[in-house]
């Protein structure tokens, strides 16, 4: 039986590197993991795919909620400019916070399952690429956690006057941004490498089941 999910996963991760097509990427990757789970009977793969679809759906709900709330607040503000907007704003913020909490929970679950799934796939398919993808995902998370206090320390060290003093009118402050945000650049590089290894891993899955 041909493993079509190897192509769905590989193409999906490639599309994830291209702007404006991330939605298609997440769907393809989710379907690939679900199909892999069905093929290998690994529930971790299936759970990861389902959560990726859930994240996609939750993101759409978040966007629709924001637009619906904004349009709902406009007539309220016109009819009762003093009280109604505040009541509508409270409902709006409550809904946004609730959806954001759900999205955050899904993202955290995906981060864990994504790592576990890559190591599990490495064992099942005897693939060093899946294993490298898993290790690089761990490295990316560690680098991200470390980068937050490092960036905060850099900003505090420079101070507001120091930052404003290095800004040149009409010029893009590339040097200033690099001196502050260089930890995030490392995070982006590690994340890119993790994605590249995932692409290779999916494309190198054996074509037929044993």
Helix (H) or strand (E) holding 129: helix 128-165
In this prediction, residue 175 has a pLDDT band, given cuts at 50, 70 and 90, of low
DSSP H helix total and E strand total for the chain:
6, 0
Return d(Cα 64, Cα 91) in angstroms, integer. Answer: 15
Q: Does residue 14 sit within a domain? A: yes
Return d(Cα 193, Cα 136) in angstroms, integer. Answer: 7
Higher pLDDT, 84 or 127: 127
Q: Does residue 108 sit within a domain? A: yes
Quick check: 168 pLDDT over 60?
Answer: no
Q: What would the mean pLDDT of 50-55 be, rounded to a whole number? A: 95
Q: Does residue 209 sit within a domain? A: no
pLDDT digits (tens, 9 = 90+) for 112-163: 999 999 999 999 999 999 999 999 999 999 999 999 888 888 777 765 555 5
Domain limits for position 46:
5-203
Q: Does residue 128 sit within a domain? A: yes
How much is the pTM?
A: 0.81
Q: Does residue 144 sit within a domain? A: yes
Q: Does residue 210 sit within a domain? A: no
Q: Does residue 130 sit within a domain? A: yes
Res 176: pLDDT: 59
Report the share of the chain in percent with pLDDT over 70: 77
Res 23: pLDDT: 82
Res 83: pLDDT: 47
3-state secondary structure of 49: helix
Helix (H) or strand (E) holding 31: helix 22-40
In this prediction, residue 79 has a pLDDT band, given cuts at 50, 70 and 90, of very low
Q: Does residue 151 sit within a domain? A: yes
Would you state the torsion angle of the CA atoms of residues 143, 144, 150, 153, taken in this order, to the nearest 10 degrees?
Answer: -170
Res 166: pLDDT: 54
Res 117: pLDDT: 96
Domains in the chain: how many in total? 1
């Amino acid at each position: 039986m041909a493993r079509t999910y190897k192509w769905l996963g590989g193409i999906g991760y490639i599309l994830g590197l291209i702007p404006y097509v991330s939605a298609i990427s997440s769907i393809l990757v989710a379907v690939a993991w679900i199909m892999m789970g069905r093929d290998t009977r690994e529930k971790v793969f299936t759970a990861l795919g389902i959560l990726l679809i859930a994240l996609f759906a939750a993101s759409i709900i978040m966007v629709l909620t924001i637009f619906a709330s904004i349009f709902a607040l406009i007539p309220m503000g016109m009819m009762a400019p003093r009280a109604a907007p505040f009541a509508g704003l409270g409902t709006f913020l409550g809904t946004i916070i609730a959806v954001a909490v759900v999205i955050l929970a899904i993202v955290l679950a995906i981060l864990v399952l994504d790592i576990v799934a890559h190591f599990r796939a490495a064992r099942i398919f005897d693939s060093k690429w899946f294993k490298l993808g898993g290790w690089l995902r761990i490295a990316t998370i560690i680098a991200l956690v470390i980068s937050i206090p490092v960036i905060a320390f850099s900003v505090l060290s420079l101070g507001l006057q120091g930052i404003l003093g290095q800004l040149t009118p009409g010029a893009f402050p590339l040097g200033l941004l690099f001196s502050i945000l260089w930890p995030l650049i490392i995070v982006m590089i590690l994340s890119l490498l993790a994605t590249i290894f995932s692409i290779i891993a999916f494309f190198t899955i054996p074509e037929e089941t044993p």
